[in-house]
A and B are shown apart, each in its own frame.
Chain A
């Protein structure tokens, strides 16, 4: 199984850029890296997904080094509403072979 490790918590202030790193040393060749955001009392919501190098969408960027053993979610100019738990998930086409880590609780302060 592609086990992931993330920091338990991070604090930031409004307007700052936040980078959350996920380690996945035993990532498989066909695995993708996906990040989800979860607010209290809600299900996780898809943020961004990538396979290698850099991916950017309207809310975040995902940086993946050449060895793919880690990945970094970058949130530009965070606001209070970005306070949430962020999970990285590493997996391919076999649903039983991917697992969620314990997530990173991001707290954005005014």
Chain B
């Protein structure tokens, strides 16, 4: 039982390049989330998907797009990477939407550097 799996673990991009971060969960959770974490800071919500077929913006959505491919998979796309997007990206899932009475389960992150 792997929980939440993120790929790749590391990535270096040049400014302007695009890439997709992949996330899959095997806990049959309904809701999935993408966060970014900058050095010495907490996690900021980029986008979330309350259930299959829906996506919503979080606190910092600019420069990103998401796709809820099916109940298991939720991808994050950077269309034109910028140095400000250098960060560690975490995917999470929960049985129900929101953290209330439904804890978040996190992957181990993708470390992205944009030069």
Contact = CB atoms under 8 A, between A and B. Distances in A.
State the main secondary structure of chain A at its contact with B. mixed
B43 interface: yes
A82 interface: no
B106 A45 contact: yes
Contacts, number: 83
A97 to B, nearest CB: 7
A10 B107 CA distance: 26
B71 interface: no
Interface residues of B, number: 32
Contacts of B31: 95
Contact of B99 (A45, A95, A102): A95
A100 B97 contact: no
B1 interface: no
Residue of B57, B58, B94, B98 ringed by the most chain A CB atoms within 10 A:
B98
Interface of A: 30-32, 34, 36, 41-46, 49, 51, 87, 89-103
Which 7 pairs between the two chains have the least Cβ-Cβ distance? A43-B106, A91-B99, A100-B42, A92-B100, A93-B98, A32-B100, A46-B103
Given A46-B104, A93-B100, A98-B45, 12 more contacts: A32-B100, A43-B4, A44-B43, A51-B101, A89-B99, A91-B99, A95-B50, A95-B94, A98-B98, A98-B100, A100-B44, A103-B42
